[in-house]
């Protein structure tokens, strides 16, 4: 990518990107390139943005000194709270409390307890045991769509596949799954959006959170003491196993994140993968001729179009990362989407190459103790989809001329993607 940096300052481009200006001179990839080249440790307010692979990897692997989650007492959060009227402030605090119960917001012994609980079920063997079920779900959904000339892949397939699979693993009733998805669509408006958006969206976000928690509590009450899936059984027994250290709200937090993360990133990766393949027909023809290339192709899609573009940590003490000092208490945001296009690791990083030998070195699923639990499941779902879809619809192509990306600095996914099947 060749960019003329002379006309604008880096601060201008970063501010435009964070404010989600659709008419900004540079898109996020151009901003990332500027950051890597000009300021790999870039301070914006009280946040340090890291854009290179080595630096992001170092921070993510150091879970003792860079803590996950966020500090509700930080100046950044308190500034937003002070800007809200009493009613909205109370709602925002409830949403923050909900997010603090997610697995990705926990550290130390609590994180170990929660992750150990979930890891027993999200093992390689357990995920592999789901392969036939995923294949059947893909077959059935594509069969339903096969009589059509064109489909909108995001709303008619991409979110439904992973939502169905994770819901079955957690024994979430079919009649509440759509409501959970809708609730998350409301909640995501608070994630990856600028702080000034909070007053505008907090009512909808709070309503979505309350609906999500209500649906999960209903599921817990319905399944507690009854025969259910191994995963949900372990979740419901977690309070007793941990001697009361975990509350029902804690368990609800981890289940909520499993459902959310279990379908959003896979949904986005399915859409992103078709966009890349249909814009690179030689690569599409390659996976049709050699389906064994698909697993590595999925890694390359995750690298090039990372669905979760960033993760943040809090520096516990003064820390040296590379040549830079990160002061204690600083918020550090690792730009995974930028790290995955670092030419020091990935030669010709903006090129889509399904044969890239080191594609799997991407950080799309984070790294260290907070490495994504559902990574294997997501990889399998996307791989099975691509193999089945490319075989069933070899001549499929884009119908959407100018796909729109979600207006979100955290998520990288498509608003919609219309596909001509034949």
Check if CATH label 3.30.9.10 holds for domain 70-292+371-420: no
- pLDDT per residue rounded down to tens, the chain (422 residues): 445 556 799 999 999 999 988 889 999 999 999 999 999 999 998 899 999 999 999 999 999 999 998 888 888 889 999 999 999 999 999 999 998 888 888 888 888 877 877 776 677 888 888 999 999 999 999 999 999 999 999 999 999 999 999 999 888 999 989 898 898 888 888 887 888 889 999 999 999 999 999 998 888 888 887 888 877 787 777 666 655 567 778 788 888 888 887 789 999 999 999 999 999 999 999 999 999 999 999 999 999 999 999 999 999 999 999 989 999 999 999 999 999 999 999 999 999 999 999 999 999 999 999 999 889 999 999 999 999 999 999 999 999 889 999 989 999 999 999 999 99
Helix (H, G, I), strand (E, B) or coil at 93: helix
Query: How far is CA 61 from each of CA 32, 53, 118, 275, 366, rounded to the nearest angstrom?
Result: 22, 12, 20, 32, 9
Longest dimension (CA), the chain: 66
Can you give the pLDDT at residue 203?
A: 96
For residue 124, give every residue at least 6 positions away whose Cβ sits within 8 Å of its Cβ, in sequence order, or none.
Answer: 376
**SS3 per-residue string spanning 185-203:** HHHHHHCCCCHHHHHHHHH
Q: Choose among 237, 217, 214: nearest CA to 225.
A: 237
How far out from the chain centre does Cα 265 lie? 5
Report strand pairing: 66-67 vs 324-326: unpaired
Q: Choose among 238, 164, 135, 60: nearest CA to 52.
A: 60
Q: Choose among 32, 33, 42: nearest CA to 2.
A: 33
Which DSSP string do the residues of 286-354 spell out, in sequence order?
HHHH-GGGHHHHHHHHHHHT-SB-EEEEEESS-EEETTEEE-TT-EEEEEHHHHTT-TTTSSSTTS--T
What's the residue count for the chain? 422
Q: Quick one: which H or E segment has residue 397?
A: strand 397-398
Which DSSP string do the residues of 226-243 spell out, in sequence order?
S---HHHHHHHHHHHHTT
pTM, to two decimals: 0.93
Only one residue has tokens 């090129």, namely 351
Can you give the pLDDT at residue 401?
A: 86
For residue 215, give every residue at least 6 positions away whose Cβ sits within 8 Å of its Cβ, in sequence order, or none.
Answer: 172, 176, 179, 180, 183
Can you give the pLDDT at residue 239?
A: 62
Only one residue has tokens 């119960």, namely 101
Q: Choose among 335, 310, 315, 312: nearest CA to 325.
A: 315
Q: Choose among 308, 292, 299: nearest CA to 273.
A: 299
Report strand pairing: 47-50 vs 331-335: parallel
Please tell me the distance from the alpha carbon of residue 381 to that of residue 388, in angstroms, as a whole number: 11
Q: Quick one: which H or E segment has residue 168?
A: helix 160-169
Can you give the pLDDT at residue 111?
A: 86
What count of Cα atoms within 13 Å lies in the side-chain half-sphere of residue 328?
A: 4
């Amino acid at each position: 990518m060749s960019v003329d940096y002379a006309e604008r300052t880096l601060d201008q481009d970063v501010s435009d990107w964070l404010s989600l200006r659709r008419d900004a001179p540079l898109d996020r990839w151009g901003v990332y390139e500027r950051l890597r080249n000009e300021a790999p440790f870039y301070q914006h307010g009280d946040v340090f943005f890291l854009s290179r692979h080595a630096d992001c990897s170092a921070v993510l692997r150091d879970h003792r000194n860079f803590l996950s989650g966020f500090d509700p007492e930080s100046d950044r959060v308190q500034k937003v709270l002070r800007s809200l009227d009493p009613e909205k402030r109370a709602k925002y605090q409830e949403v923050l409390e909900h997010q603090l119960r997610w697995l990705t917001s926990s550290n130390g012994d609590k994180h170990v307890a929660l992750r150990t609980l979930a890891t027993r079920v999200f093992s390689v063997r357990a995920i592999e045991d789901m392969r036939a079920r995923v294949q059947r779900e893909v077959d059935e959904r594509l069969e339903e769509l096969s009589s059509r000339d064109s489909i909108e892949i995001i709303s008619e397939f991409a979110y439904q596949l992973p939502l169905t699979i994770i819901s079955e693993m957690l024994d979430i009733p079919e009649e509440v799954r759509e409501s959970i998805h809708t609730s998350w669509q409301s909640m995501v408006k608070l994630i990856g959006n600028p702080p000034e958006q909070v007053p505008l969206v907090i009512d909808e976000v709070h309503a979505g959170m309350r609906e999500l928690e209500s649906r999960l509590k209903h599921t817990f009450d319905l399944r507690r003491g009854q025969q259910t899936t191994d995963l949900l059984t372990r979740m419901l027994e977690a309070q007793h196993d941990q001697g009361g250290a975990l509350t029902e709200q804690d368990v609800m937090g981890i289940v909520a994140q499993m459902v959310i993360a279990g379908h959003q990133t896979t949904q986005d990766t399915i859409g992103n993968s078709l966009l890349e393949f249909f814009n690179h027909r030689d690569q599409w023809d390659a996976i049709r001729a050699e389906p064994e290339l698909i697993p590595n192709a999925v890694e390359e899609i995750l690298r090039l179009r990372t669905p979760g573009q960033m993760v943040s940590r809090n520096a516990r003490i003064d820390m040296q990362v590379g040549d830079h000092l990160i002061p204690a208490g600083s918020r550090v945001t690792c730009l995974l989407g930028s790290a995955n296009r670092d030419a020091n690791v990935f030669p010709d990083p903006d090129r889509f190459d399904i044969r890239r030998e080191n594609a799997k070195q991407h950080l799309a699923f984070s790294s260290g103790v907070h490495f994504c639990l559902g990574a294997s499941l997501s990889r399998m779902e996307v791989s099975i989809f691509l193999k089945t879809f490319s075989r069933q619809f070899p001549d499929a192509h884009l119908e959407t001329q100018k796909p729109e990306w979600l207006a979100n600095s955290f998520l990288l996914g498509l608003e919609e993607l219309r596909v001509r099947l034949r």
